[in-house]
Amino acid sequence: MDYAATGQEALSRIEGASDLETVEALRVEFLGKQGSISGLLKTLGKLTPDERKVEGPKIHGLRESVTAALAARKQALEDAALEARLAAETIDLSLPAPEMPQGSVHPVSQVMDELAEIFADMGFAVATGPEIEDDWHNFTALNMPESHPARAMHDTFYFPDRDAKDREMVLRTHTSPVQIRTMLSDSAPLRIIAPGRVYRSDSDATHTPMFHQIEALVIDRDIHLGHLKWTLETFLRAFFERDDVVLRLRPSYFPFTEPSVEVDVGYANEGGRRVVGGSGDAPGHAWMEVLGSGMVNRRVIEAGGLDPDEWQGFAFGIGVDRLAMLKYGMDDLRAFFDGDVRWLSHYGFSALDVPTLSGGVGTPA
Amino acid sequence: MKFSLSWLKQYLETEATVEEIAAKLNAVGIEVEGIEDPTEKLAGFRVARVLTAARHPDADKLQVLTVDTGEGDPLQVVCGAPNARAGLVGVLGLPGATVPANGLVLRKSAIRGVESNGMMCSTRELELGEDHDGIIELPEDAPVGTAFAEYHGADPVIEVAITPNRPDCMGLYGIARDLAAAGLGTLQPIEQLDLPGTFPCPVEVRTDDPEGCPAFYGRVVKGVKNGASPQWLQERLKAAGQRPISALVDATNYMMLAYGRPAHAYDLAKLNGAVVARRAKDGETVLALNEKEYTLDSDMTVIADDAGVHDIAGIMGGEHSGCGDDTTDILLEIAYFDPERIAKTGRKLNLTSDARSRFERGIDPAFLDTGLDHLTQLIQTLCGGEASEVVRAGAAPATPKVVHFDPALTEKLGGVRVDLEEQKRILAALGFSVVTEEAGFDKAWAVTVPGWRPDIDGAPDLVEEVVRIHGLDRVESVALPRAEGVAPPTATPVQKLERRVRRAAAARGLHEAVTWSFLPEAEAEAFAEGNGGLWTLSNPISEDMKVMRPSLLPGLLSAAKRNLDRGASSLRLFELGRRYLRGGGGASDERLSLALVLAGDKVARGWVTGKAQPFDAYDAKAEALALLAEAGAPVDKLQVMPVLSEAEGGEAGSQFHPGQSATLRLGPKNVLARFGMLHPRLAQQFDVEGPVALAEIYLDAIPGKKGATTFARSSYSPPALQAVTRDYAFLVPVDLAAGELVRVVRGADKANIVAARLFDDFRGQGVPEGQKSLALEVTLQPLEKSYRDEDLKAIADKVTAAAAKLGAVLRG
């Protein structure tokens, strides 16, 4: 028998199938239980072995070619359908993706974390005290008795209240009362920093009635001015991440230290900005006062409950806001306390900018 | 304090330049705030001779001069001064020079068509005087071509800041002494004058208040002629920032600036009877020289005569008895006043003066006779007159202070080794006298403190003297001893908590703000619930900064308003800081909190999300819970409860929308946070538009971790069998809190139920009026073997039974 025509017709119909349903219908028609090619296969059993040898391969050949054609057609149709679906599913990826809000850490917090990191490496622990202080801790214990002219110079905010010991309540004018509190509670030796808010009734372009200070206190048996100088140099070099930070120490006066030292740092004027580094006496450079310090006054050590013949040490206090401005280039202190999201986005830090010594405490621009 | 270099050189013989002097002043602790060098101002001005002067062709009042500048061809200059004439030697400003008086930069120009190459200057134009009637006329032999600054001998002025411990340096002589000690020159001794009077003092001088005024010396000078001071004195005073007034007044000011010694001159004609230092009477008044009237009280010392008060002692003289042009006889007063009394009086009267600032810091009590002699001599030089004998009432405290000083302390405290000889030299140069107390040079010294150094009261002060004169720059840095190994952690638990929560909030998209600790009273009061009383400043800087914040929310709300006013569309702000409450014993109770404000759009309008979506109370809840979780609070144990019941002493929801706010509590009492929508009335008060969601987290209320720090986590054992979920929908009364239902379902079978999550809250069609349908997905975790149908049935029965207790009915 000649199957060629049958095969030709089947292949041509398969080729002409336009959808998967038609392909399936043709499969049933040809290869289903009742299918025409299945019918031909069934005839094989009735043939003689010789006839089977001749007809068998032909029928099997026919079945295979139809099977292959059906599979190929199905694949082609499926591919086409997928192509069509994918084409239909095309989206405009230039459209904006969902936005996540971006938060920030305030520069004051960031710089406080930086300072804590540096001082931790030098063995300083963190101490705190109240901001609403009594005048004994804020003044008297720091060698500023009531009539002391330095008290008047502190531009103190007062409360009408007095505490149970009849001490006048004030807003602390510096972080130094934490020195007294820590000496009284922890005794000696001591190495602490005390960061926090402080207040002066002073308000102009460069002063705000509230600002941030960090106090450092070291009490031990043999601490002298040389240690103070080293600590300041080491900390400022680590903070600004520059080896060329140069300090100028000037004798000064604070009631709570003796001797007292005011510290200037050399800077260059670069494009209207102060950039810390180099000697203030170098060309294009100048000095800028950054902190007050000194050897803790004996009376202060006594007020802290320690024997000044046994213990001595140094203390210094530095403005955190000013350090932040110097390092990160802000020029207006008042903006620190305004909560303007534009400013916070500009000068704030990512939550992931965690200061570490291994990575450098600062966050590059 | 300001002084001119030439004045300093009267007391300090030195060849040092002004720069060297400034550097040394800084080095010894006298901070230089500025140097005014007139040579800079006078750059471009030259001594020049007018060769010819001719009438300007087009202007009657102008002349055309040819001027010899000492080099090149003579320059043509147009000049309007009437005294301009051939032969005159004057000062020519060349093109490019800046006229000091008005900042005008000179340039080559044409004046009425005639070329002019500069300007001949008047004294006023060069800020050398007031004369503007004509151009400066210099002597014939003034060297033509020399820079005028050089010819004029310009005198630089140095401005310094004097620390409050150094009243001696509030007189120029004290500054000279420090510089001399530091090796910058030789100090000229103060001449001991002997000016015996020629007649007995006709005025009785007395101190009836020996506490406030231990010493009161006086003398009369008769027949003085007051008037303007001579030029040299006026210039020194002006350089020091003092306005010259009249010779008599200038003389006392000069004494004060030169030696730090205030004194006073009364017009004798205005005094009646004895002049007495006494306490003021309560309510007594005086018109002071500043033309203000002061009401005095009996804590204040005054100088008075029979008629009344003439001087607020040591602070300011009275207008009535001040010296004027017609004064002919004067009474000079030089007194020692108690520093504390002066300070208190000045504070009470809110009156500052140069005299007060010196007296309250402590002037040299010994400098009475010498001071009076020098003042007398100066007045006689300026105004003539005949001086009486000195009358002395009382005596200044005279016992000199002696400090025991072991010179080894210089190295122990100052960190620098200074030779004993050098230490002695420094102390002596500063006026201390040093006596070795015991045999051997290095034993303790007895150091007598000069009267002008009231600040010295112990050995460390002497270390400071030695070190500052020796040079702080000679102190070498010495490393602090360092513990072996890696630096151990130092942060406190609170510090770690702060850092963690701060960065968590920033990571969640919130901006950290730092706002003022003080608030306007009304804003503080709006948030004062349960504060135990606000802390209100006695002397606020303004009404807006008056009361310490009882909450961080008002400050953030104001910041939010400012941002919205600036056009911000979406705001997420937080602050981490203290709120100020009342503590025990009159102390404050400052509590660490975190507050946040969500305002404007939560989601901006978008192509996917459609219209902009505002923040709601659930956003505040989400932040509060997330941050509490970061802070280590057991958030799965927290209960959502009303903000403040009336039993808790507050009006419920006065800051928050009463129906859209709640607290998160650990147990019934411990409030860890509150959150919700801002009360519309407060929104109005703060002038914020649109819905605002808030949360405040009381970080201090979170219980701390107990026990020692361990790093190993509990062992990991995931269940062997897969969890299954079952959904339940209940009809419940509409006012039942969904959280209650979740809580009881979660607890219905603790062995099997590991989670219950509410996923639907439906009201409306199919749900009876007064009810709502809540649907929960419950997660069951089989432990040893998989659930059989009867197991699941039993669990379901427990769930429905538990829910039924709340009136919940399982929906069919």
**pLDDT (tens digit per residue) in A254-276:** 999 999 999 999 999 888 889 99
pLDDT confidence of residue A240: 95
Q: Is B499 on the interface with A (CB under 8 A)?
A: yes
Enumerate residues 301 to 340 of chain B having a beta carbon within 8 A of any beta carbon in chain A: 339-340
pLDDT confidence of residue B206: 92
- Interchain proximity A109–B412, CB inside 8 Å: no
Question: In a mutagenesis test of the B interface, which of A115, A118, A122, A132 is the best target, namely the one with the most B β-carbons within 10 Å?
Answer: A132
**Pair (B668, B529) in one structural domain:** yes
**Pair (A64, A117) in one structural domain:** no
Rounded percentage of chain B residues whose pLDDT exceeds 90: 71
Enumerate residues 517 to 536 of chain B having a beta carbon within 8 A of any beta carbon in chain A: 517-518, 535-536
User: Which token pair is A204?
Assistant: 């102009």
> How many whole angstroms separate alpha carbon B676 and alpha carbon B615?
10
End-of-domain residue from the set A57, A88, A119 = A88
Establish if B93 belongs to a structural domain.
Answer: yes
Residue B509 has its nearest CB partner, among A100, A169, A224, at A100
* Structural domain containing residue A221: 107-347
pLDDT confidence of residue A84: 93
Contact criterion met (CB below 8 Å) for A263 and B472:
no
- For chain B, the residue count is 812
pLDDT confidence of residue B531: 67
> How many whole angstroms separate alpha carbon B559 and alpha carbon B566?
11
Indicate the number of domains in chain B: 6
**Pair (A72, A137) in one structural domain:** no
Q: B3: which residues sit within 8 A by CB, 6+ positions away?
A: B157, B158, B160, B172, B175, B236, B239, B240, B257
**Pair (A272, A301) in one structural domain:** yes
**Pair (B553, B618) in one structural domain:** yes
**Which phi and psi (to 5°) does residue A270 adopt?**
-120, 110
Say whether A268 sits in a helix, a strand or coil. Answer: strand
**Pair (A59, A144) in one structural domain:** no
Residue B535 has its nearest CB partner, among A108, A132, A230, at A132
**Which chain A residues touch B494 with a CB distance below 8 Å?**
128
**Pair (B328, B384) in one structural domain:** yes
Establish if B711 belongs to a structural domain.
Answer: no
Q: Min CA distance, B788 vs chain A (Å)?
A: 43
Query: Residue B635 maps to which CATH number?
Result: 3.30.930.10
Q: Spell B624-650 as b/e; 16+ CB within 10 A means b.
A: bbebbebbbbebeebebbbbbeeeeee
pLDDT confidence of residue B530: 65
DSSP B15-38: ---HHHHHHHHHHHT-EEEEEE-H
- Interchain proximity B413–A197, CB inside 8 Å: no
**Pair (B676, B621) in one structural domain:** yes
Regions of chain B where pLDDT drops below 70: 437-443, 530-531, 644-653
Question: In a mutagenesis test of the B interface, which of A293, A297, A341 is the best target, namely the one with the most B β-carbons within 10 Å?
Answer: A341
> Whose CA is closest to B780, among B718, B720, B722, B723?
B723
Establish if B488 belongs to a structural domain.
Answer: no
Q: Is A95 on the interface with B (CB under 8 A)?
A: yes
- Interchain proximity B585–A163, CB inside 8 Å: yes
Establish if A140 belongs to a structural domain.
Answer: yes
| pTM of the model as a whole | 0.86
Say how far residue A238 (Cα) sits from the centre of its chain: 19
- Could you tell me which residues are beta bridge partners of residue A330? none
Establish if A94 belongs to a structural domain.
Answer: no
Packing angle, helices B247-259 and B231-239, rounded to 10: 50
Rounded percentage of chain A residues whose pLDDT exceeds 90: 77
**Pair (B438, B577) in one structural domain:** no
**Pair (B560, B580) in one structural domain:** yes
**Pair (B602, B585) in one structural domain:** yes
Q: How does pLDDT run across B207-225, given as a tens digit for each residue?
A: 999 999 999 999 999 999 9
Q: Is A74 on the interface with B (CB under 8 A)?
A: no
User: Which token pair is B117?
Assistant: 């190459």
**Pair (A166, A263) in one structural domain:** yes
Regions of chain A where pLDDT drops below 70: 1-2, 149
Say how far residue B25 (Cα) sits from the centre of its chain: 24
**Pair (B426, B456) in one structural domain:** yes
Query: Residue B419 maps to which CATH number?
Result: 3.30.56.10
Q: Min CA distance, A185 vs chain B (Å)?
A: 15
> How many whole angstroms separate alpha carbon B185 and alpha carbon B399?
31
* Structural domain containing residue B12: 2-37+156-187
**Pair (A142, A52) in one structural domain:** no
**Pair (B46, B32) in one structural domain:** no
B266, B382, B535, B652, B713 from B252: Cα distances, Å: 11, 12, 48, 70, 81
- Interchain proximity B506–A350, CB inside 8 Å: yes
**Pair (A134, A264) in one structural domain:** yes
End-of-domain residue from the set A53, A88, A123 = A88
pLDDT confidence of residue A149: 67
Establish if B192 belongs to a structural domain.
Answer: no
Enumerate residues 545 to 584 of chain B having a beta carbon within 8 A of any beta carbon in chain A: 545, 548, 555-556, 558-560, 562-563, 566, 568, 570-573, 576-578, 580
Establish if A357 belongs to a structural domain.
Answer: no
Establish if B594 belongs to a structural domain.
Answer: yes
- Interchain proximity B507–A108, CB inside 8 Å: no
Question: In a mutagenesis test of the A interface, which of B353, B480, B515, B592 is the best target, namely the one with the most A β-carbons within 10 Å?
Answer: B480
Say whether B731 sits in a helix, a strand or coil. Answer: strand
pLDDT confidence of residue A155: 87
ipTM, two decimals: 0.90
**Pair (A255, A282) in one structural domain:** yes
> How many whole angstroms separate alpha carbon B309 and alpha carbon B294?
11
Indicate the number of domains in chain A: 2
**Pair (B438, B384) in one structural domain:** no
Establish if A364 belongs to a structural domain.
Answer: no
- Interchain proximity A253–B163, CB inside 8 Å: yes
Maximum distance among all Cα pairs of chain A, rounded to whole angstroms = 135
Contact criterion met (CB below 8 Å) for B108 and B115:
yes
**Pair (A70, A165) in one structural domain:** no
Q: Is the dihedral of CA A111, A116, A121, A122 positive or negative?
A: positive
> How many whole angstroms separate alpha carbon B419 and alpha carbon A49?
132
Contact criterion met (CB below 8 Å) for B148 and B41:
no
**Pair (B556, B608) in one structural domain:** yes
Query: Residue A299 maps to which CATH number?
Result: 3.30.930.10
Establish if A363 belongs to a structural domain.
Answer: no
Q: Min CA distance, A33 vs chain B (Å)?
A: 43
Say whether B598 sits in a helix, a strand or coil. Answer: strand
> How many whole angstroms separate alpha carbon B275 and alpha carbon B754?
96
Establish if A355 belongs to a structural domain.
Answer: no
**Pair (A217, A126) in one structural domain:** yes
**Pair (A79, A116) in one structural domain:** no
> How many whole angstroms separate alpha carbon B67 and alpha carbon A68?
117
**Pair (B217, B174) in one structural domain:** no
Establish if B482 belongs to a structural domain.
Answer: no
**Pair (A39, A75) in one structural domain:** yes
How many Cβ pairs within 8 Å bridge chains A and B?
271
pLDDT confidence of residue B652: 47
pLDDT confidence of residue B642: 78
